[in-house]
Structure 1
């Protein structure tokens, strides 16, 4: 597979230093091609003679380094080597390539490829990244081989930013757009690809010339380390906003230089004025969420452990969300930073960010030589849990979060509100902030349920259970079990978790084990609570006896359904009455053909029976009632099935064909070919649930 290459011709500081106060210009060539592509940047000085529109002298490298490949002057245009005609497969290096330039120096701050030749996930990821680029940056978006096919979910965002052509791009078109964030389009060009991808030589070459922005001073109080981060990175969002500076709650400092917390006033990073806030911090530790009165849970009874790697932009966003959440005390947050396999060191910019925010952090070195990334991750998470237990030895609970998981403002408040149920009921082992990923469920922030499942993201466990997990965690790199699967089998072991119907934590990032279809439908498109105050049911409602009593009562009164669950109109509107559907399920721990197809059709989690409570699941509906699904004979609730109601069961061959047909019509695979602009535009705007025509 041919890699995308960026020719970065000069150091950041040398361009500005070479030309001083003269009018500088950035000249940029961007190429998109079926065989590769390139982005080249040079800097120069505008001519002083009236009427001249070009530059007096273009410094190709501005005192370029030896490996820049620059001869004595002029442009060096680099195009990726050709791809064999037999190699039609698209890979992780193909798609929309985003290059972000510093508007003052022209330095390349970020290059990232989004595999938008695939119809799922990657367009959402592109939306996330372009939506957090700082105002004034110069962004170059170009197609490498193929990338406009799966832009559907991002088209509105890109059009809103100023693109005129993207909404008309055919699936195999070549597209280049250069623009200033919050400003104007510098250039945009679109060209269809007339030949099949594997044999096409089509290329689109563009050139842009724009004055460099003047250097503006940073506001007083901005720490030098943060200025350096903002000048060398992009997509740090409001962390680098010089107009509306971030404000986090100020809390009392406890710790040393490496183990500290963050206390800020408006417009100021650092520790000034922190000591005077002790009284307000103490009064902020009561949580009032229950109808039973004030729940006396102290925030300092929980330690929050956040795992991080080298994804600086994800981490910056996650930390912002976390530190603005209610009941989160920064000195009770530990960030565990893993080293990179290549260098063996932590990302220095990640460490710099944590030092700027004065957060507790530890760097852990997972020995290299692991057979795979998942082997390495399994040992990394063992160290994360070990450090969590060691850092918060007197905590009652530990909450765990990943660097690419955002949380609502009431995330920790919800976890702490439900946490006492773990102590009352030994059949529970976790409180998760992530819902069960049911598409058809009504997003009511006050609803909470329980079921047998992995912990998901943004979850809480008893500290004693965390210690047990650490004690049983294998210390060998020969084990590659996903760590949440290990927790499910070790700590879960037949027990269940509590979780909200409307998520308080959402996995928004794209990582090593991201499967595009699953991530798109069951995580990225699920809503996140806005954090507004919500009255939650008391924890005692979710002990096994009380919860199951409620389930028996609701199912006894539910109206059975007997129609085809994959046919239109399966779920009737019944004026707040519950309905129930009985399907074949032989085991509580193993899925069935019926469950897989049923879940796909009604919008539940189809890949396993996780999330079910004793072989049943409730899907609240907008009309006030719920659709209940009950497995027969695995669920103890199957005895409520009336004798005259038939259990839904499929012949294996027919069921497999139905499932394949359903998945292919609802979630088409990316089959690229050449189309007219009109046909391509109608294809891109087709609703996902209707099913896209085969290209």
Structure 2
């Protein structure tokens, strides 16, 4: 490897080139390829313009220049990323025998939160022996965080020593060795590196896999154990007392993410009570890899044509999903819907077999979801208890067929709506309807899509701890019917102690004796019927990361119970909007963030954003001490 620190004097030319040169021996039986990486740093960084493993071209990015990244998933119903995504860490995976690209994705690791978890998910599922290239596009190391540990364990030397704006290239063999690792840090000098990659001998690959699975694993990657020699077809696990599920269809929505889909299918098959004959997969568009995998598992599927892009496309895709359900499962009373990036727990079907009959008997419930709306690790949750509350359908849910038909009557058919279908159903169809949901989640939304928000992923979706034991008995089903639920809540509130004060002061909620307490926050309806949740949002975050996105999903009549430690239950009550506000005495003032002075608002926001501020502070401290680069990079940089 040669580091050339001469200054760049040309205004033209391609900044970063990765190219192959094919070398054939005399008898043309062996093909070898030579990789040449030429990376030049500049003030804005290197930017991926188009990418295949055989040719990755990176160009100069400037703020007034539009550069398109040719996304591998842009035609899907469930696209992995926005087609214009051009910043982050690009992963390219190559079959070592054919040198064909088997996977490509841009990870948004230029953002500090959340997206590194998706990178970790993919790294752990790489097929052994694959040739992998990781290339920074513009900015891609700032948000590596915990993924740097996985990269180090896989053999990367520089992962823990890169500044936020570094341009880094690493080529390695999964389970083998590094072929190339180089970086440009904070200099405008070019870096030139060469690496020789021999073609693996196909005769060295153990051929004990059946032909169709072997062919899949030659053209696809990130399929976890499917490409292992020890993989065995999923067994069918029987679940006692689950006859109710015999007549319930299961619909899985998929797009161009077969890697996610395989993980979701595997979890579904391994959950006792799953009935494969009830599963029907609805494919948004015809993606060869997705269909090949579905054919391998011999699953029933239908291709749904998609149109448009982004959220308008997704909104219409789900309209067609609901239309298919209504037309093809007319005799069913309800349907279970699972997206391709949702992992169900081993208790999923046991849970559904218990809560769905309750849902069907109660006209005030429209769904039963496997999603817990209280996933914070700072809360103490019961594995055996469920609640009811206002919510979207969440991930991994059952919905009444009557609601499916009702939604179709109102669903716009044009491509001018940017609404997300689940929120639209909640707001426009069931009008803040209620669902049954578990305290401990029976499903996990692990994928990253076009609407992904990093901080929500990190503090909620990707950190969910599911119930991993099957056959859990639900104890609180008799309390779910509306009149019973309200009566029990009324009794609980009337016998709770009212607390007031600063919810963002240290240990305000936890430094209490065993018992139940009411904390009132200010909540009033606006003239248009909407209401501002800022006081609940801030107080919930200060309490226990309760309100990850500023919404009160899981609340009933604007009351949410948070068990902040064993024996201590805090009831957040929105006053005066909640009808239960009568339990407050005249001397109780609901906490109002907007009524605080400027200093009080700043302190509350700092406490609410404690996690984000801590992460940013740790990274800032690291980058301010340039000596963290010293162990890897030679002198010539200012470390003082």
TM-score band, normalised by the shorter chain? Answer: 0.7 to 0.9
> Is 1:240 the equivalent of 2:251?
no
Number of residue pairs the alignment of both structures matches: 588
Corresponding position of 1:387 = 324
How far the C-alpha of 1:541 sits from its partner, in A, is 2.0
Work out whether residues 31 and 176 of structure 1, in 8 Å CA contact, stay in contact via their aligned partners in 2: no
How far the C-alpha of 1:408 sits from its partner, in A, is 0.9
How far the C-alpha of 1:488 sits from its partner, in A, is 0.8
Work out whether residues 617 and 630 of structure 1, in 8 Å CA contact, stay in contact via their aligned partners in 2: yes
Long gaps (5+) in structure 2: 1-12, 69-83, 630-640
> Where do 1:443-592 residues align within 5 Å?
443-574=381-512, 576-587=514-525, 590-592=531-533
Corresponding position of 1:597 = 538
Question: 1:331/1:623 Cα in 2 relative to 1: closer, same or farther (>3 Å)?
Answer: same
Work out whether residues 332 and 401 of structure 2, in 8 Å CA contact, stay in contact via their aligned partners in 1: yes
Question: 1:473/1:246 Cα in 2 relative to 1: closer, same or farther (>3 Å)?
Answer: farther
Per-residue displacement from partner, 1:360-402 (whole Å, max 9, x unpaired)? 1001113x4x4x5222222211111122233333323201111
Give the secondary structure class of the aligned counterpart of 1:362.
strand
Corresponding position of 2:280 = 334
Question: 1:144/1:495 Cα in 2 relative to 1: closer, same or farther (>3 Å)?
Answer: closer
CA distance in 1, matches of 2:357, 2:251: 20
> Is 1:348 the equivalent of 2:288?
yes
Work out whether residues 117 and 670 of structure 1, in 8 Å CA contact, stay in contact via their aligned partners in 2: no
Give the secondary structure class of the aligned counterpart of 1:158.
helix
| Partner of residue 429 from structure 1, selected from 366, 370, 374 | 366
> Is 1:29 the equivalent of 2:29?
no
> Where do 1:253-402 residues align within 5 Å?
284=238, 286-287=240-241, 297-339=243-285, 346-366=286-306, 368=307, 370=308, 372-402=309-339
Corresponding position of 1:214 = 201
TM-score normalised by the chain length of structure 2: 0.82
How far the C-alpha of 1:247 sits from its partner, in A, is 2.6
Corresponding position of 2:182 = 189
CA distance in 2, matches of 1:555, 1:321: 40
Work out whether residues 350 and 471 of structure 2, in 8 Å CA contact, stay in contact via their aligned partners in 1: no
Per-residue displacement from partner, 1:532-569 (whole Å, max 9, x unpaired)? 44221253221112222332233233333223111211
CA distance in 2, matches of 1:305, 1:17: 55
CA distance in 2, matches of 1:17, 1:404: 48
How far the C-alpha of 1:581 sits from its partner, in A, is 0.9
CA distance in 2, matches of 1:446, 1:6: 57
Work out whether residues 405 and 458 of structure 1, in 8 Å CA contact, stay in contact via their aligned partners in 2: yes
The answer to which of 301-310 and 204-213 deviates more is 204-213
CA distance in 2, matches of 1:628, 1:18: 78
Question: 1:682/1:569 Cα in 2 relative to 1: closer, same or farther (>3 Å)?
Answer: farther
CA distance in 2, matches of 1:670, 1:89: 29
CA distance in 1, matches of 2:606, 2:14: 36
How far the C-alpha of 1:118 sits from its partner, in A, is 0.8
> Is 1:154 the equivalent of 2:154?
no
Corresponding position of 2:121 = 128
| Partner of residue 640 from structure 1, selected from 583, 591, 599 | 583
CA distance in 1, matches of 2:235, 2:573: 47
Give the secondary structure class of the aligned counterpart of 1:398.
strand
CA distance in 2, matches of 1:514, 1:416: 31
Per-residue displacement from partner, 1:152-173 (whole Å, max 9, x unpaired)? 1312222222323211222122
How far the C-alpha of 1:5 sits from its partner, in A, is 9.1
TM-score normalised by the chain length of structure 1: 0.76
How far the C-alpha of 1:286 sits from its partner, in A, is 3.3
> Is 1:650 the equivalent of 2:593?
yes
Corresponding position of 2:74 = none
Work out whether residues 20 and 34 of structure 2, in 8 Å CA contact, stay in contact via their aligned partners in 1: no
> Is 1:607 the equivalent of 2:607?
no
How far the C-alpha of 1:624 sits from its partner, in A, is 3.3
Work out whether residues 15 and 60 of structure 2, in 8 Å CA contact, stay in contact via their aligned partners in 1: no
Work out whether residues 335 and 362 of structure 1, in 8 Å CA contact, stay in contact via their aligned partners in 2: yes
CA distance in 1, matches of 2:257, 2:26: 30
Work out whether residues 253 and 282 of structure 2, in 8 Å CA contact, stay in contact via their aligned partners in 1: yes
How far the C-alpha of 1:359 sits from its partner, in A, is 0.6
How far the C-alpha of 1:321 sits from its partner, in A, is 1.4
| Partner of residue 143 from structure 1, selected from 136, 141, 145 | 136
Corresponding position of 1:254 = none
Work out whether residues 410 and 531 of structure 1, in 8 Å CA contact, stay in contact via their aligned partners in 2: yes
Per-residue displacement from partner, 1:271-326 (whole Å, max 9, x unpaired)? xxxxxxxxxx8xx3533xxxxxxxx6432121111111111211121111122222
Corresponding position of 1:262 = none
Work out whether residues 380 and 566 of structure 2, in 8 Å CA contact, stay in contact via their aligned partners in 1: no
> Is 1:96 the equivalent of 2:96?
no
How far the C-alpha of 1:202 sits from its partner, in A, is 5.0
Question: 1:612/1:589 Cα in 2 relative to 1: closer, same or farther (>3 Å)?
Answer: farther
CA distance in 2, matches of 1:635, 1:3: 62
Question: 1:608/1:213 Cα in 2 relative to 1: closer, same or farther (>3 Å)?
Answer: same
How far the C-alpha of 1:203 sits from its partner, in A, is 4.6
How far the C-alpha of 1:648 sits from its partner, in A, is 1.3
How far the C-alpha of 1:518 sits from its partner, in A, is 2.3
Give the secondary structure class of the aligned counterpart of 2:494.
helix
CA distance in 1, matches of 2:486, 2:161: 54
Question: 1:589/1:249 Cα in 2 relative to 1: closer, same or farther (>3 Å)?
Answer: farther
Long gaps (5+) in structure 1: 43-60, 62-67, 69-77, 195-200, 251-280, 288-295, 340-345, 684-695
How far the C-alpha of 1:615 sits from its partner, in A, is 0.8
How far the C-alpha of 1:221 sits from its partner, in A, is 5.9
Work out whether residues 253 and 339 of structure 2, in 8 Å CA contact, stay in contact via their aligned partners in 1: yes
